[in-house]
Amino acid sequence: MATETLTETPPRACTLSLPRGRHLDVDRRPLLMGILNLTPDSFSDGGLWNDPERAVARGLELLAQGADLLDLGAESTRPGGGVYGAGARTVPAEEELERLLPVLTGLRRQTEAPLSVDTRKGEVAQAALDAGADLINDVSGGAGAALLAAVARAGCPVVLMHSRGELSTMQRGIHFVDLFGEVAEELGRMAERAVSAGIAREQIVLDPGIGFGKTAEQSLQLLARLGELSRLGHPLLVGASRKSFLAAAAGGDSPAPQSARLGGSLAALAWAAAGGAAMVRVHDVRESAQFLAVSAALEAVTA
Ligand code: HH2
């Protein structure tokens, strides 16, 4: 286990400024970002929350279970070329917005909790921000100028995730000579590009992109040595929940299905927290919140 305690890792402390004068404070433990996938085809929960009313109820349930913020995704980004075959289908902006907006506006009416939108498209980001979203989570790492411009205009936080190549093929021909050096350098370039587009440096959260253009072994390494990325000077987000590298690491004759990866997901959460993650993106909010609360209680009695 990494040397730092789970809930006391100074690099994670930060404050992100949200629209309408609100703030997201990160201090002793990572914030829990609850995943709400509004897609028919997400790798672990696709099709579960297609009905807007049920999706809004699910979002409120995740908040009640301990999510500090929600991440609404209306396009699956499961990478292709590896365990997911051809990967996810790219969805036109209109279709993404049709899935997203009823749920986003429904949640916005009922909660002040921070709402993130997981999108790669500028048009979707703009419409989401207009409809009350608080931050944008971009797995393309700011590849689209329109998305960066929308974030800059809103003055909101953005998550920039590391990946390489096209989503549909990125699990093929993966090659790093110096995994940490290259991921750090490429994340640094993404952040600089966002700053050039007018986004405040302190509003940029970086994410190593676990499972995106990485082998299972590389995903483990990034998680185990996450703290090395804190030198970039940005809060870090980790999305490891239920991902296939967990099943690969667990071994056994047949890999655990997505729904049976909670143990591995909690192990990943422990290492992300110890490595200084400011946010963790999780499917199993109740169990993750309990894990962090018990970790904090254990630390309190040993302090
Ligand atoms: N992983 C997924 C989606 N969005 N965003 C960030 N910042 N980091 C991640 O690791 C990340 C992400 C993939 O997970 P999921 O949303 O459950 O699946 P899908 O993309 O198939 O909808």
If you count DSSP H runs as helices and E runs as strands, how many of each does the chain have, helices first?
9, 10
Residue 86 pLDDT exceeds 80: no
Instruction: List, in order, residues 6 or more apart from 69 with CB less than 8 Å away.
Output: 24, 31, 32, 33, 34, 113, 114, 115, 116, 134, 135, 279
**254 confidence band (pLDDT: 50, 70, 90):** confident
pLDDT at 88 over 90: no
**Which pLDDT does position 133 carry in this prediction?**
98
42 in contact with ligand 1, CB cutoff 6 A: yes
Q: Which two tokens stand for residue 94?
A: 């209109």
pLDDT digits (tens, 9 = 90+) for 217-232: 999 999 999 999 999 9
Q: Which residue has the higher pLDDT, 166 or 268?
A: 268
pLDDT in tens, 31-50: 999 999 998 877 767 777 78
Q: For tokens 């749920």, what's the residue?
A: 103
Indicate which atom in ligand 1 lies nearest the CA of residue 45: 17
156 lines ligand 1 (CB under 6 A): no
With CA atoms as reference, report the closest residue to 96 among 68, 130, 72. Answer: 72
Parallel, antiparallel or unpaired: strands 14-17 and 23-26: antiparallel
Lowest mean per-residue pLDDT among 16-20, 28-32, 86-90, 181-185: 86-90
Residue 84: pLDDT band by 50, 70, 90 thresholds?
Answer: low
Question: In the predicted model, what is the mean pLDDT of residues 119-126?
Answer: 98
Looking at the predicted structure, is the pLDDT value of residue 253 above 90? Answer: no
Ligand 1 pocket check for 261: Cβ under 6 Å: no
* Mutation test residue for ligand 1: of 48, 118, 167, 245, the one with most atoms within 8 Å of CB: 118
Does residue 201 carry a catalytic annotation? no
C-alpha distances out from residue 170 to 15, 42, 139, 147, 224, Å: 33, 17, 13, 22, 22
**What is the best residue among 281, 282, 283, 284 to mutate for testing ligand 1's pocket, by most ligand atoms within 8 Å of CB?**
281
Confidence of residue 171 (pLDDT cuts 50, 70, 90): confident
> What is the pLDDT of the chain when averaged over all its residues?
92
